Structure formats: C-alpha cells, structure tokens
Amino acid sequence: MIPGKRRTAIMSFSVAIFGALMLHSVSSQNEPSITSSDHITLPTDSHSPPFTLQCNLTSAHSMHLESFWMKNGEEISDTRSANRNTEYRLNKPRGDDAGVYMCVYTFELAPPANATIEIKAVPDITGHKRSENKNEGQRAILYCKAVGYPYPIWTWRKLDTGVYMEIDNSSGRFFINNKDNYTELHIANLDIGSDPGEYQCNATNMIGTSAMVSILRVRSHLAPLWPLLGVLAEIIILVVIIVVYEKRKKPDDIQDDDEPAGPMKTNSTNNHKDKNLRQRNTN
C-alpha cells in the first residue's frame, strides 16, 4: 500500500474509534440514574419481618412520566405512580415472594429505565403428588412444585435398602422435565417388579434445599378383574351351601313310601270271613 493511503486509512480508523467513544460517553451521560435497595435474602425459617423495596430516580434528561413495579417480568398491579421515589412493601415476606423485582420509569422522550432488586429464599416445596396407583405397563407421572429464588436444581431419587439413590435409567423408561420451580418424573411401561416404591424430589439452590416423597404403587394386569372374580366366588359358595342344605333336609311331614300306611289284613282272615258268609247263606 502507498504510504500516503496507509496514513489516510489509519487516520480514518482513529476518527471512527474516537467518534464511537464520544457517542458512548454522551449516551452514558444521558441515561437516567436510579438508586435502589440492596438484594435481600429471606431467613430459612420463613419468619421474616416486613420490609420495603425502594427506588429513587436521581437524574434524567427527559421528563419523567410515571413509575411502576414488576416481579419476574410481570407488572404488579396498583403500583403505578408519578413519583420519582417509589416503594413496594412486603408485609409478610414468604418463599413465594422471592424473585426478581424491577422498578421501572417511563419518560416522555426516552426509552424506559429500570433497576433490579433480587429477593432470595430457600426452595420450599408447596405441592407434590403424594401417591400414584397404576397398572403395570401404564405410564406414571410424579411432580413437585416449589417457591423460592434462585430457581432450584431438581433431582429425583428412589428409596433403595433404606437410602435414597439416583434413579437407574438403564432401561430408558424414566424422563425428567424441569422448568423453574416445577419438575415432573415420567415412568413409561411400568414394571411391577422394580418400579413400585418411594420416590423423592429434591430442590436445591444457593440458599438451601428441600425434599418431598411420593409413593408409587403398581398393580397387576388382573387387578381390574378382582372385583368380578370376588362376586363369582361368592355366587359359587352360595350355590354349594344351598345344594348341601337341600340334600340334608328331612322334613317330619313327609313319610317314607316304603312304610305301610296302616295294618294290613292277612289272607287267612279274609278266607275265614268268606267261609262264615257261605254258611249263613246255606242255612
């Protein structure tokens, strides 16, 4: 390259960098300045005193319109105001109050600005399937849901000889779906020999851990027929009892056909009467 052209290119590149730095400096100076409360960690015993989140818009180069609060990306109702100093109070902080809070300011001629405050808490499992009853070959679904922040790392374990162990998925029938404060354990093609038992869901974050147990029962394919088989067995037993009773019954008012109804007259008696009758006729 010709030295003159090289010098021109270097100067153009330097001017571009200087311009970008100046633009960034001007933009930074024009950005609103917001002071906010520090991040908060709730006590692990779930007994926290009331506290107030605060934000203050200290400077802005465009006219301020209003402010409001958001939690986990959703606006909190009834928090909009025209105040530069805005507050959000939590009277009874609990695990489900944990999350990411933002105070948001809107302006007439500038994009919105915000500050973030995190409320952290140990995971607290608030719902789970206590038990599941399925037939072998079917699919079982166990779940757990929790409150707390940061979102926990979920793990599932199964009770084996008195100890909760990692689930052996060598059969490829176990599937785990995790999303934030919710988890599901799917077990396909249930095996009556190996799948029944106690399953533990565990939620752990940087603050602490929590766990709950679900019981899975697996029934045989014949389980739906058991009520019908029970009814049939009762009918058979009843029929046998009736037959035996009828065979052993001997009512007193029925006489035996082999016994004579009364005293029978002998032939000699009849002959004697005939002889007397002939003698009277002769006389």
Least confident of 36-45, 182-191, 201-210: 36-45
Task: For the chain, give percent helix, strand, coil, nearest 5.
Answer: 25, 40, 35
Give tens-digit pLDDT for 137-191: 999 999 999 999 999 999 999 999 999 999 999 999 999 999 999 999 999 999 9
pLDDT for residue 259: 54
pLDDT for residue 248: 78
**Model confidence at 25, in pLDDT bands (50, 70, 90)?**
very low
Question: What is the percentage of the chain residues whose pLDDT exceeds 70?
Answer: 75
Distance between first and last Cα of the chain: 186
Which residues on neighbouring strands pair with residue 53, listed in sequence order? 88
Give tens-digit pLDDT for 9-19: 545 545 454 44
Contacts of 75 (CB under 8 A, 6+ apart): 68, 69
Cis peptide before 150 (omega within 30 of 0): yes
Mean pLDDT, range 205-228, rounded to an integer: 87
pLDDT for residue 149: 96
Is pLDDT larger for residue 62 or for residue 9?
62
What is d(CA 86, CA 90) in angstroms, rounded to the nearest whole number?
14
What type of residue is 201?
Answer: C
pLDDT for residue 231: 82
Residue whose entry in the numeric block shows the structure tokens 């909760």: 164
What is d(CA 254, CA 208) in angstroms, rounded to the nearest whole number?
88
- Pairing relationship of beta strands 131-135 and 113-128 according to DSSP bridges: unpaired
216 pLDDT above the threshold of 80: yes
pLDDT for residue 228: 74
224 pLDDT above the threshold of 90: no
b/e per residue 114-139 (b: at least 16 CB within 10 A): bbebebbbbbbbeebbeebebbbeee
Q: CB-side exposure of 26: number of CA atoms within 13 Å?
A: 6
74 pLDDT above the threshold of 90: yes
Candidates 208, 219, 210, 218; CA nearest to 183 is 210
219 pLDDT above the threshold of 70: yes
Contacts of 66 (CB under 8 A, 6+ apart): 80, 81, 82, 105, 106
Count Cβ atoms within 10 A of the Cβ of residue 106 and give its class: 0-12 exposed, 13-18 middle, 19 or more buried. Answer: middle
pLDDT for residue 58: 94
Least confident of 22-31, 54-63, 74-83: 22-31
pLDDT for residue 17: 47
Give tens-digit pLDDT for 233-279: 888 888 888 888 877 776 555 555 555 555 555 555 555 555 555 55
Three-class DSSP category at 208: coil
Q: What is the pTM of this model?
A: 0.67
30 pLDDT above the threshold of 80: no
What is d(CA 6, CA 105) in angstroms, rounded to the nearest whole number?
48
**Model confidence at 6, in pLDDT bands (50, 70, 90)?**
low
Is pLDDT larger for residue 47 or for residue 51?
51
pLDDT for residue 27: 42
What is d(CA 180, CA 152) in angstroms, rounded to the nearest whole number?
7
What is d(CA 105, CA 33) in angstroms, rounded to the nearest whole number?
11
Mean pLDDT, range 22-41, rounded to an integer: 72
